[in-house]
Structure 1
Amino acid sequence: MSFKVTILGTGAAVPTLSRGTTSQMINCQQRSILIDCGEATQIQMRKFKVKFQNVQLILISHLHGDHVFGLPGLISTMQLLGRKKALTIIGPKGIKAFLLTQFKIVGLYNGFPIHFSELDEKQEGIIFEDKCLKISTFPLKHRIPTHGYRIDEKPGKRRLNKQAFDQTGVSNSYIEKLLSGADIKDNSGVIVKSEDVTYPHKPTKSYAFCSDTAYHLPIINHIKNIDLLYHEATFIDKEGDRAVETYHSTAKQAAAIALKAKAKRLILGHFSARYKNMETHLEEAQTIFDSVFIPSDGEVFNI
């Protein structure tokens, strides 16, 4: 099954002609998960042919406008297009009031169920889980309560080694149990070990989203060995003082987090509009961590 990340917006604070504000679509195990929803996210979705009616879950990192101002409009459009299936929104305390107050003022009739799950400021651990994946949260370090997210695939079943299984002579009725990892003993007393007739499940993949945050070492415990890490890099090194003042990170700091967490790949984002290009961000990050990417809006990363 595919696990991919579509970067819908890479800019900070305000949208520009070349970069939208923060938003990403995660497609994993036939689940569609939107992370953050900056202004005009639905336009970005149309532009990059992302089907927003398929979104089942929305994760919001924090309540700054460049991460949530697109959410009321997106939900309104979902309703206008006839959506009926439920939507789950997970985010910091206040996300429910933020949305429902606007809906009340403008008289929006919500034609489909929205389930809210609000997080405590310091909450960490699993916040969503089904048979295919689990999502965990952890606190970031920003001016207001801000949450990072980690998405992990769950291991699937083992795969049958048909040639080895056929040689055992046991009934096909035992296959499911063997694929689950259990050993069996048939009615004739024949013992078959799962590992002898099955292949291990395919390796699971993982993705972590860290925006907005100052350089914050405690997050490393939550993103260890991540396959793909997104970490904000609002500034370059010479604006390090500004990063401290605003509780943001530099490209070098993002790279240092990736290195310490033993991430496999790093995506930078949340770039200040003061920069015309991100060459310096890339150069500075690569002095610390090799596998760094500067995404364009609409770019897709397969995990």
Structure 2
Amino acid sequence: MIEVFFLGTGGGAPSKKRRLPAFLIRKQGLSVLLDCGEGTQYTLMQYRLGINSLKIIGISHMHGDHVFGLLGLIASMGLLDRKETLYIIGPKNLKDFLFTSFEYSKFYPQFKIEFINSYEDDEIKISTFKTCHTVESQGFIISEKDRVKIDDKKLKEEGIKDWRIVRKLKEGKSVEVDGRILHPEDYLIVKKGIKVAYTGDTSPCQSVIDSVKGVDLLIHDSTFLKEPSAYTYGHSNASDAAKVALEASVKLLALTHISSRYEDVSMFLKEARKIYNNTILPEDLSYIVLK
């Protein structure tokens, strides 16, 4: 199970209804923040999500609406006496941006900040992919590990009780029993892990399509309605996001980074659903669970 918190679904400048980009992905005890627009820590408080529960922060690119909330968030972590290492995945110049700011503001975190390119543990994997924006940019894929369990019913039907045989099958090894070979694939049930992809800012892009194929949730840039200017600024229209979702065979599309120029956003959903019906338009403080 993966929880997704839509902290900020606007883009460019905040509006009365939509704050700047930020998304929290939670898997059991692991919390990952993707992008950190201005005001993100306030929204975390609204959700009652402790900021020191964040283990990893991913920044898609260095435009201010995606990164200007990071300094304040890290400063608050320090004020709340954080001890644990904070892991950050981001563009090459993010480290200089942060530590230059720390120097000028005379704030020096008393906890370790480690910059990494990817992350993996027993439960989850975080990787990046190239997107097509006006500056160096990347998207993120958070993948839950597949879960493998033994088919106890089948073992019982065949009278297999020896724990040593069961263990070897779980380890993916074939076992000889009474002159016949038991193959692990015949006795293992694999539950595919959930995958969530977030594009950050991007115009329509083959590298995005290739990277997000088959994900359970795609959170895609949808800054504008059908306007050619979207591509000039390295963004996508709602229809572009829908075409990506369709071509990549994703299960659910979430439109985000909605420009503050639009008072009525209902057309975003209508435009996208003409192409890909399984589309949602989350508001700030929306929350979904993927199982």
Category of TM-score, reference length = shorter chain: over 0.9
What secondary structure sits across from 1:56 in the alignment? strand
2:184 pairs, out of 194, 201, 211, with 194
- Does 1:241 find its partner at 2:228? yes
| Aligned equivalent of 1:73 | 72
How does 1:135-154 map onto structure 2 within 5 Å? 135-154=126-145
| Alignment check: 8 A CA contact 2:148 2:188 kept | no
TM-superposed CA distance for 1:162, in Å, is 5.4
TM-superposed CA distance for 1:130, in Å, is 2.1
- Over residues 196-232 of structure 1, what are the superposed CA-to-partner deviations in whole Å (9 max), with x where a residue is unaligned? 5x44122221111012011112321111111110111
The 1:276/1:199 distance shift into structure 2, 3 A limit, reads same
* Counterpart amino acid of residue 252 in structure 2: R
What secondary structure sits across from 1:267 in the alignment? strand
What secondary structure sits across from 2:11 in the alignment? coil
* Counterpart amino acid of residue 194 in structure 1: P
The 1:190/1:253 distance shift into structure 2, 3 A limit, reads closer
What secondary structure sits across from 2:258 in the alignment? coil
What secondary structure sits across from 1:201 in the alignment? strand
| Alignment check: 8 A CA contact 1:8 1:24 kept | yes
1:161 pairs, out of 152, 158, 166, with 152
TM-superposed CA distance for 1:160, in Å, is 4.3
| Alignment check: 8 A CA contact 1:255 1:266 kept | yes
* Counterpart amino acid of residue 256 in structure 1: K
| Alignment check: 8 A CA contact 1:72 1:99 kept | yes
Percent same amino acid at aligned positions?
37
- Does 1:95 find its partner at 2:82? no
* Counterpart amino acid of residue 195 in structure 2: S
TM-superposed CA distance for 1:192, in Å, is 3.9
- Does 1:259 find its partner at 2:259? no
In structure 2, C-alpha distance between the alignment counterparts of 1:201 and 1:29, rounded to whole Å = 20
The 1:299/1:166 distance shift into structure 2, 3 A limit, reads same
The RMSD of aligned alpha carbons is 1.9
| Alignment check: 8 A CA contact 1:157 1:180 kept | no
* Counterpart amino acid of residue 275 in structure 2: I
The TM-score with structure 1 as length reference comes to 0.89
In structure 1, C-alpha distance between the alignment counterparts of 2:218 and 2:247, rounded to whole Å = 12
How does 1:183-222 map onto structure 2 within 5 Å? 183-185=174-176, 191-196=181-186, 198-222=187-211
* Counterpart amino acid of residue 224 in structure 2: F
TM-superposed CA distance for 1:148, in Å, is 0.9
What secondary structure sits across from 2:288 in the alignment? strand
1:284 pairs, out of 268, 271, 276, with 271
In structure 1, C-alpha distance between the alignment counterparts of 2:255 and 2:171, rounded to whole Å = 39
* Counterpart amino acid of residue 114 in structure 2: H
What secondary structure sits across from 1:157 in the alignment? strand
What secondary structure sits across from 1:200 in the alignment? strand
Gap runs ≥5 in structure 1:
119-126
Gap runs ≥5 in structure 2:
none
In structure 2, C-alpha distance between the alignment counterparts of 1:109 and 1:141, rounded to whole Å = 34
| Aligned equivalent of 1:124 | none
- Over residues 176-206 of structure 1, what are the superposed CA-to-partner deviations in whole Å (9 max), with x where a residue is unaligned? 33223322247x877544345x441222211
